[in-house]
Amino acid sequence: MDTVAPGVTQLRIQRFVNVYFVETATPGEWVLVDAGLPGSLKTIVAAADKLFYPGSRPAAILLTHGHLDHLGSARELADYWQVPVLAHPLELPYLTGQAQYPPRDPTVGGSLAFMARFFPTQLPNLGERVQALDVDNPAPPYLPGWRWLHVPGHAPGQIALFRAADRTLLGADAFATCHHDSVPDILLARPEISRAGTPFNYDWQASEASVKLLADLDPAAIGCGHGPVISGPAAATGLRRLADNYPIPAHGRYVAEPARTDLSGVEHLPPPAPDALPKQLAAIGAGLLVAGATWLLVGGKRRRKPAPTPAPIDYSRRGVGD
């Protein structure tokens, strides 16, 4: 776990996605921001027990958006802790099985986009557990001193969280703090403020506007959905550099025209961009990428040397009672 700022702790799950424990003004009270991949309940609960006290539970789970790597364990955790899940109303159709996000764009470039062809599209349904944030109140429940900002472009109802007192920013997937177009780079997690989630970005102009909005906050510490904590002068300068030179891709389904969404889901989609990659070749490439990613995940751990053969025990030298 890493500290973003006082009372704000980042937990990285499976070396690729972050959740945050954000303490409220009341001692012992906290909010979980995002819920990791499916199957992360044990990891998140164990981290909360260690960070606070055994059996501790949050006041609520706040989702920055509903992509599978942020929503994954929300339902399990909400049931386990018996707490509500909060999200922007524009995310609710996707969180309650009413609609599907705009289709990913595998033609936009980079290995993440390449792999996106094979990511599951079915999302867990939060049903009654999810509640809509009040769009007229920029202060999120339970978190005085914080405000949420609507940062669409990557997900229609994506929100970022900002604490003005120390300029702490939780940027969700509006951008990333690691190079995010490449799967190996995501796993290596070298700190670098960059665009995030390219195959998911359904509106590139909105994505750019969201980054500019967040750069104007001049953050002193940043935690995003993907990548390590970045704090100090590098936070604001890195984000300003990205905002001033936002790299809208040269080609892709949503480059010339965005998908349009509303409170009930996707309202309009531009036609798919031609995808020249034959499916079989894509499957082979994906297999190689998965193998490479697996190697990165396990290869970083030093291979265990075989245990040395124990020296034969010389019983003749042992005294009675050994």
3-state secondary structure (DSSP) of residue 292: helix
**Opening angle at CA 54, ends 51 and 57, nearest 5:** 75
Q: Which stretch binds Zn ion (CB under 5 A): 38-46, 131-139, 195-203, 252-260?
A: 195-203
**What is the greatest pairwise CA distance in the chain?**
86
Residue 197 found at the interface with Zn ion (CB under 5 A): yes
For residue 189, what is the DSSP state?
A: T
Q: Are strands 60-62 and 30-33 parallel, antiparallel or unpaired?
A: parallel
Q: Which stretch binds Zn ion (CB under 5 A): 4-12, 23-31, 95-103, 167-175?
A: 167-175
Which of 289, 63, 300 has the alpha carbon at shortest distance from 189? 300
Annotate each residue in 97-136 with x if it binds Zn ion (CB under 5 A) or - if it does not, as one string: ----------------------------------------
Rounded to a whole number, what is the distance in angstroms from the first to the last CA of the chain?
45
Token output for 33 = 């921001």
Please select the residue that binds Zn ion; options are 12, 67, 180, 195, rule is CB under 5 A. Answer: 67
Q: Tell the smallest beta-carbon distance from residue 173 to Zn ion (Å).
A: 4
Residues 176, 242: Cα–Cα separation, whole Å:
10
CA distances from 158 to 51, 175, 194 (A): 27, 11, 17
Q: Tell the smallest beta-carbon distance from residue 154 to Zn ion (Å).
A: 6
Helix, strand, coil percentages for the chain (3-state, nearest 5): 30, 20, 50
* Other beta carbons within 10 Å of 23: 19
Q: Which stretch binds Zn ion (CB under 5 A): 30-38, 168-176, 291-299, 309-317?
A: 168-176
Q: Which stretch binds Zn ion (CB under 5 A): 19-27, 161-169, 192-200, 228-236?
A: 192-200
- Count residues near Zn ion (CB under 5 A): 5
* Other beta carbons within 10 Å of 311: 6
Q: Tell the smallest beta-carbon distance from residue 160 to Zn ion (Å).
A: 12
3-state secondary structure (DSSP) of residue 49: helix
Residues 157, 262: Cα–Cα separation, whole Å:
10
Residues 80, 73: Cα–Cα separation, whole Å:
10
Q: Which stretch binds Zn ion (CB under 5 A): 60-68, 126-134, 162-170, 262-270?
A: 60-68
Q: Tell the smallest beta-carbon distance from residue 133 to Zn ion (Å).
A: 17
- Decide whether 44 or 59 has the Cβ nearer to Zn ion: 44
Residue 173 found at the interface with Zn ion (CB under 5 A): yes
Please select the residue that binds Zn ion; options are 225, 228, 238, 252, rule is CB under 5 A. Answer: 225
Q: Tell the smallest beta-carbon distance from residue 322 to Zn ion (Å).
A: 58
Q: Tell the smallest beta-carbon distance from residue 291 to Zn ion (Å).
A: 22
Q: Which stretch binds Zn ion (CB under 5 A): 68-76, 105-113, 119-127, 272-280?
A: 68-76
Q: Tell the smallest beta-carbon distance from residue 60 to Zn ion (Å).
A: 20
- Decide whether 23 or 69 has the Cβ nearer to Zn ion: 69
- Decide whether 35 or 59 has the Cβ nearer to Zn ion: 35
Residue 69 found at the interface with Zn ion (CB under 5 A): yes
CA distances from 251 to 199, 257, 273 (A): 12, 11, 8
Q: Are 113 and 126 in contact (CB under 8 A)?
A: no
Q: Tell the smallest beta-carbon distance from residue 116 to Zn ion (Å).
A: 11
Binding site for Zn ion (CB under 5 A): 67, 69, 173, 197, 225
